[in-house]
Amino acid sequence: MSERIPAARWSSEPMRRRLRRRHLVERRFRRLGLAAVGVALLALVTLLGSIVGNGWSAFVRTRIALEVFFDPALIGSLAEVPPAQREARASEVDWAALVRAALSRQFPDVSGRRDLRALVGLVSVGVRSELRSFVLADPALVGRTETLWVPAASDVDALVKGQLPRDAEAEGARLSAQELGWIAALEERGRLTRSFDWSFLTSGDSREAELAGVGGAIAGSLFILLVTLAVAFPLGVAAAVYLEEFAPHNRWTDLIEVNINNLAAVPSIVFGLLGLAVFLNAMALPRSAPIVGGLTLALMTLPTIIITGRSAIQAVPPSIREAARGLGASPLQVVGHHVLPLGLPGILTGTIIGMARALGETAPLLMIGMVAFVVDVPRGFADAATALPVQIYLWADTPERGFVEKVSGAIMVLLAFLILMNGTAIWLRQKFERRW
């Protein structure tokens, strides 16, 4: 037995000094911990503030009202053209002439080819496609005058949002004094407004910043995640159940477990090389397709699901298994009726965390060619597509000023997806978790 320290020694001066030093060290450690938490929170707030501060304007679009006369002399009578030939006929129309005529009516004093080109530059080049779509959808517009709110050019949009100076002589100005005067006139007449830009969430990529959206990247990410979940979840759960409940404990299973743990730490770009070699070169699957991206990310996510699934199964008390066997249940019934339902919260949580990691991966998708410029929103698993992280990478590499807000806006959308997925994981754990 240890010798009991007399009470007098606790009240001695050397002991009091030791206690003071110990308490001082504890207080210092506590302050360092609080300081570390404070620095982390400050960095998080700074990061989120920077992203939101630069990205909120991506969800707002500046529009200009135009009185467009759909001149039959330019368009012709599309109503009399068979529907199958309207697309070809519409491609021959000079839609830019309609835009020039509409702006010239608002600014009749503007003359000269150079000034007219600058005036037309106030609106986006995508207006031509919009006019074409309107007429193809309703050929009865030919011969009528309609008031249309069309997207403004990127520089006009940045000026209205306060990102560019309103002085033509100021540093960083991109618009001339004449163009600034036209914009001021449009504002005075109530023909220039800002509104929420739904097209940013629904449209595909574009080389024009004011027309670019994340709709194609969102659809591509969803298709990729569906393929990843359909492949990785059943294989991962089955492997976890087998290794934990049925596999014999020998050198081979030990080797498999070591390799699974090592695969969970392999850099993601290695899985991209594997997907390139297997799915594109060997199996000749379509390049830049969500099915290839999903299969590649499934290989990357599989070790995480297996490890978390085994941990969840190990957490089920052995008494549950013993009670089930005592009642005559077969090994498969023990797993299917008792172990898996009780380990489901941990399995689902690990799966969602693995899917969230897959959602934010860029390197594997770059290796399999999902870095292509994709304008159309994908409608299937074999269509050419991109993903949110890759779209952010592409826009970040673009020097145009208008894409700066698009990058931050796309990051906000990606963070919203990640927060939703992690919140779902927390909710599933709380809903299905049982305490013993």
What is the DSSP secondary-structure string of 119-180? HHTTB-TTHHHHHHHHHHH-GGGTT-EEEEEEEBPHHHHHHHTTSS-S-TTSTT--S-HHHH
Mean pLDDT for the stretch of residues 386-415: 88
d(CA 219, CA 430): 30
Reply yes or no on whether the pLDDT at 2 is more than 70.
no
Q: Where does the pLDDT of residue 296 fall: very low under 50, low under 70, confident under 90, or very high at 90 and above?
A: very high
Residue 274 φ then ψ, to 5°: -65, -45
Q: How many helices (H) and strands (E) does the chain have?
A: 20, 3
Question: Between the ranges 206-210, 247-251, 297-301, where is the mean pLDDT highest?
Answer: 297-301
Q: Domain coordinates of the chain in residue numbers?
A: 61-195, 215-432
Whose structure tokens read 């938490």? 37
Q: Which of 434, 428, 404, 432 is nearest to 50 (CA)?
A: 404
Position 96 pLDDT exceeds 70: yes
Burial pattern 49-83, b for ≥16 Cβ within 10 A else e, equals eebeebbebbebbbbbbbebebeeeebeebeeeee
Cα–Cα distance measured from residue 11 to residue 54, given in angstroms and rounded to the nearest whole number: 62
Using alpha carbons, list the distances in angstroms from residue 34 to 21, 39, 43, 47, 355: 20, 9, 14, 20, 32
pLDDT exceeding 70 applies to what percent of the chain?
96
Q: What is the pLDDT of residue 420?
A: 87
Cβ neighbours of residue 77 closer than 8 Å, sequence gap 6 or more: 139, 142
CA distances from 311 to 37, 255, 300 (A): 29, 18, 19
Q: What is the C-alpha to C-alpha distance for residues 210 and 144, in angstroms, rounded to an integer?
A: 28
- pLDDT digit string, tens, across residues 66-94: 898 888 888 877 767 777 777 777 788 88
**CA proximity to 127, closest of 107, 152, 144:** 152
Dihedral angle, C-alpha 66, 72, 76, 80, nearest 10 °? 100
Residue position matching structure tokens 């001339």: 176
Residue 357 vs residue 430, higher pLDDT: 357
CA distance 267 to 367: 13
Structure-token pair, residue 2: 């240890």
Query: What is d(CA 230, CA 239) in angstroms, rounded to the nearest whole number?
Result: 15
**Short-list 318, 307, 387, CA closest to 349:** 307
Sign of the dihedral defined by the CA atoms of residues 26, 31, 36, 40, in that order: positive
CB atoms within 10 A of CB 127: 24
Write phi, then psi, for 123 (nearest 5 degrees): -105, 160
Give the separation between CA 52 and CA 15, rounded to whole angstroms. 55
| 275 phi/psi in degrees, rounded to 5 | -65, -40
* CATH code for the structural domain at 215-432: 1.10.3720.10
Dig out the tokens for 145 from the structure: 């005058």
> pLDDT for 126-152, tens place per residue?
888 888 888 888 888 888 888 889 999
Tell me the per-residue pLDDT of 19-61, one tens digit each, with 9 for 90 and over.
888 888 899 999 999 999 999 999 999 999 999 988 888 899 9
Query: Token pair for residue 89?
Result: 């006929």
- Cα–Cα distances in Å, from 264 out to 85, 131, 167, 271? 55, 52, 56, 11
- Distance, in Å, from the CA atom of 35 to the CA atom of 25, rounded to the nearest integer, reads 15
pLDDT of 363 higher than 80: yes
Q: CA-CA distance, 14 to 232, in Å (whole number)?
A: 63
At residue 68, the 3 state secondary structure works out as strand
Identify the DSSP state of 360: T
pLDDT digit string, tens, across residues 189-228: 889 999 898 889 888 888 888 888 899 999 999 999 999 9
Nearest C-alpha neighbor of 223 from the set 131, 289, 284 = 289
pLDDT at residue 9 in the model: 62
How high is the pLDDT of residue 1? 47
For residue 247, what pLDDT is reported? 84
Summarize the chain as % helix, strand, coil (round to 5): 65, 5, 30
Phi, psi of 149 (to 5 degrees): -95, 110
Identify residue 335 by its one-letter amino acid code. Answer: V
Helix axis angle, 402-432 to 340-359, nearest 10°:
170
